[in-house]
Amino acid sequence: MNETDDQEFPEGPSKSQRKRESTALQDLGEALEALPADRLARVEMPDALRDAILEARRIRQHGALRRQRQYIGKLMRSVDPAPIRAQLAVFEGQSHAHTAWLHHIENLRERLLSDENALALLIADHPALETQRWHTMVRNARKERAEHKAPRAFREIFQELKLLIPEPRQDLAPNDEADETQEDDHE
């Protein structure tokens, strides 16, 4: 090969690399498609891409959905995917934090039902609790469990614990924190 041949075929990504990048963008589009509507609305993207994702949600036929996802991948080529990936990572962290919070509440409820001292510790940590009401809920939940009845008090304890123990909010975006501060000022 001489120098002119090198100039005719400049080095660039191989066909396989371009295919992997295209597939990665389609996968990112599918991740956006799977988001709940409220989270999708928070992701910044061009209107054409948002419309294509919303259209893909409507499509039920496999072939048409495949073509729509390829179209989404094509639109994604003109968008910087880094901010979208970052936002999805925040959502993923938010989901993990939410799941961990729910597991914490479930474990606390289980301790309340199995350990006699757990309620005393909860009341010590939260002195504003209505002590008698909590004793009644725990007693009723234990009775329901022993008699294999519908778990009404069991569920009530879970709901009350959700109100008592706030969900961690460490993953708010800067705009969300400003909005929350403004809402607090108006209350």
- Considering the entire predicted model, what is its pTM? 0.50
Domain identity same for 96 and 154: yes
| Residue at 68 is within a domain | yes
Give the tokens for residue 126: 């939260």
Domain identity same for 96 and 148: yes
- Contacts with 57 (C-beta within 8 Å, 6 or more apart), sequence order: 33
Task: Select from 49, 79, 109 the last residue of a domain.
Answer: 79
For 71-101, the pLDDT digits (tens) are 998 998 898 998 898 888 888 877 788 888 8
Domain identity same for 27 and 63: yes
Residue 25 CA to residue 16 CA, distance in Å, equals 14
pLDDT class of 181 with cuts at 50, 70, 90: very low
For 34-43, the pLDDT digits (tens) are 998 888 998 9
Name the residue range of residue 33's domain: 14-79
Q: Inform me whether the pLDDT recorded for 175 exceeds 70.
A: no
Domain identity same for 118 and 158: yes
Instruction: Find the length of the chain.
Output: 187
| Residue at 53 is within a domain | yes
Residue 122 CA to residue 131 CA, distance in Å, equals 10
Using N-to-C axis directions, what is the helix angle for 131-146 and 81-114, rounded to 10°? 80
| Residue at 106 is within a domain | yes
Do 36 and 53 form a contact (C-beta atoms < 8 A)? no
Residue 48 CA to residue 112 CA, distance in Å, equals 52
